[in-house]
């Protein structure tokens, strides 16, 4: 269903959404989240990965190569995401139509009434 390029494209779209960014800010202000991030950043594997990334970023050719690769991935992911959204909308519309077809159509049916006639007045 979702691949990495689609998730990347969705992330970039979400980052343009003010409501999403407000929610992200709330999460980042949460002490539990801050504690978890502290644990992650103090992890040796994370530190090594960050050092490696910083070293790689010093190579201008490598940075350019990564930027071009990222741009292509975002473009591909955006295309795939839009196709996915279109197919999902079409599926929802089909399901809605099927649901409407399954509902009983009582608009033309009249309310049933008793064939017995009621006598007016009181019995003596």
Quick: pLDDT tens for 21-32.
Answer: 999 999 999 999
Structure-token match 């049916």, residue found: 109
Check the CA dihedral 79-85-91-97 and report its sign.
Answer: negative
Report helix angle 60-102 to 4-14, nearest 10.
Answer: 90
Q: What's the pTM? A: 0.59
Q: 124: which 2 tokens?
A: 């003596």
What mean pLDDT, rounded, does the chain reach? Answer: 87
C-alpha dist (Å) from residue 54 to 50, 60, 118: 6, 12, 93
- What gap in Å lies between CA 101 and CA 79, rounded to an integer? 33
Residue range 50-95, pLDDT digits in tens? 999 999 999 999 999 999 999 999 999 999 999 999 999 999 999 9
Q: Residue 77: how many CB atoms within 10 A of its CB?
A: 22
């Amino acid at each position: 269903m979702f691949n990495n390029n689609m998730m990347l494209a969705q992330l970039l779209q979400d980052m343009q959404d003010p409501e999403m960014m407000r929610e992200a800010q709330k999460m980042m202000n949460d002490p539990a989240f801050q504690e978890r991030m502290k644990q992650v950043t103090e992890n040796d594997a994370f530190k090594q990965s960050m050092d490696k990334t910083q070293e790689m970023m010093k190579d201008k050719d490598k940075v350019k190569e990564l930027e071009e690769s990222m741009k292509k991935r975002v473009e591909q992911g955006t295309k795939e995401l839009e196709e996915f959204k279109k197919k999902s909308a079409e599926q929802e519309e089909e399901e809605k139509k099927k649901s409407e077809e399954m509902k009983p159509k009582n608009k033309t049916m009249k309310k049933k009434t008793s064939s017995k006639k009621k006598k007016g007045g009181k019995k003596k």
